[in-house]
Amino acid sequence: MQVNLERFKLIITDYLGGKSTEEERGHVDNWYESISNDDINPFIDANHREKIKQELFIRVGIAEAPVKEKKMQAIAVRKFSWLSAAAAILVIGGISLLFFQHNPMSLSQKQTETIALLTETVTDAGELKEIQLPDGTSIFLNGNTRIRYDRKNFASNRRFFLDRGEAFFRVKRDTLHPFKIETGSVSVAVLGTSFNVNNSMSTKQVTVEVKTGRVRVANAKNGANHMLTAGKAVRYSVAHNDFETFDRDPAYINLWTQGGLQLNNIGFKELKEVIYNRFGVMLHTDNLNTDTFNYSLMIPHVQSLDQVLNIVCNIHQIKFRREKNGIILYK
């Protein structure tokens, strides 16, 4: 039962964090409906159900469960309470068993992640790191990036998770085992090529830029597929659930891995993320309207943070000062 509980926790945690696939979300929704239906009951009796429900409401911060459930009650809130409690405390072992009885495919889908204990690498803000995967693929990680993969079985199952941040891939070609990257919003599949993926937390966008070869980018939610070749790029917006395609000079796609910096028509929110990930400092403003700020520039070799800030300030005729671990832009 303990292994099932761990898998159950991973599935529910991904669901709440918006990282589950459409199929996995369907499994969780079906499971929720089943435990909400008196015809399929994991509880001993009505008193047991009420006792557990009261405990769940208390654990998730609701002082008292409603005495009488209304037919048109806020189902979303109730579902969140149940799922949050299940993921956090798992007080009902029978529920996870019921979930896997009704959703056997979810058990197999999560088996690799849970049993194999995925290898995780996280870079600090301001840290750049290059790693080698077991299949010979090399990855260069930008600062504030989190990745996961099954190191033990990677040669036969080249599935890779980019949970946040930016990474440049040089994928070792293996026609029998395609290389697949999951970001939570889009999936990227290749055989052997080089490309850059940026899973931005601040903008809720995933950008894929191809340096060499061919890359397929897909989104299960809207069914869209894009086949990209060298110099082609696509950006997926989580908020709008759509893709935007554009061109990129392949020579500069991985400039950041070589000590350079290129900004392509980005706003102030993206600039803040770039500065934090690259240098580990927060960018703030003092009475500045940044809504119209836009940046397109290239620095072949970044010598210092001051160099970048001087260029940014010259664009808007503003100044900057340091305060603790932050940078303040002002008039």
* C-alpha dihedral, 273 to 276 to 282 to 284, nearest 10°: -30
Q: Which of residues 167 and 10 earns the better pLDDT score?
A: 167
Residue 225 pLDDT greater than 60, yes or no: yes
Residue 252 scores a pLDDT above 90? yes
State residue 220 phi and psi, 5-degree precision: -70, -25
Instruction: Identify the residue whose tokens are 């930008």.
Output: 142
Q: Which of 267, 280, 293, 266 is nearest to 327 (CA)?
A: 280
Query: How many Cα atoms occupy the beta-carbon half-sphere of 118 within 13 Å?
Result: 21
* Per-residue confidence (pLDDT) for residue 88, from 0 to 100: 45
Residue type, 133: L
Better pLDDT: 216 or 60: 216
Three-class secondary structure of residue 65 per DSSP: coil
Q: Looking at 98-112, 223-237, 244-258, which range is the least confident one?
A: 98-112
The rounded distance, in Å, linking the Cα atoms of 1 and 97 is 8
Tens-place pLDDT, residues 51-69 = 655 555 554 444 444 444 4
Q: Nearest 5 degrees, angle CA 60-CA 66-CA 69?
A: 120
Domains of the chain are: 2-115 (no CATH), 119-252 (2.60.120.1440), 259-330 (3.55.50.30)
Distances (CA, A) of 322 to 230, 288, 305: 40, 16, 11
Residue 215 predicted with pLDDT over 90: yes
How many CA atoms, within 13 angstroms, populate the side-chain half-sphere of residue 295?
24
CB atoms within 10 A of CB 223: 8
Angle 105-107-111 (CA atoms, 0-180°, nearest 5)?
120
Helix (H, G, I), strand (E, B) or coil at 304: coil
Residue 123 CB partners (closer than 8 Å, separation 6+): 129, 141, 142, 143, 144, 145, 146, 165
**0.85 cut: is pTM over it?**
no
- The model's pLDDT over 11-51, given as tens digits with 9 standing for 90+, comes to 766 766 667 676 677 666 665 555 554 444 555 566 665 66
| Antiparallel, parallel or unpaired: β 282-285 and 319-323 | unpaired
Alpha helices in the chain, H assignment, sequence order: 2-16, 22-35, 46-59, 75-88, 93-102, 104-115, 268-279, 305-316
In whole angstroms, give the CA distance from residue 234 to residue 243. Answer: 6
Span 89-147, pLDDT tens digits: 444 444 444 455 555 555 445 444 444 578 999 999 999 999 999 999 999 999 999 99
Sign of CA dihedral 196, 202, 204, 205: negative
pLDDT at residue 209 is higher than 90: yes
Long-range own/partner contacts, residues 253-259 (CB < 8 A, 24 or more apart): 253/168, 253/195, 253/196, 253/209, 253/210, 253/211, 254/140, 254/168, 254/194, 254/196, 254/211, 255/298, 255/300, 256/142, 256/166, 256/168, 257/128, 257/130, 257/140, 257/168, 258/301, 259/301, 259/302
- For residue 300, report the phi and psi dihedrals to the nearest 5 degrees: -55, -35
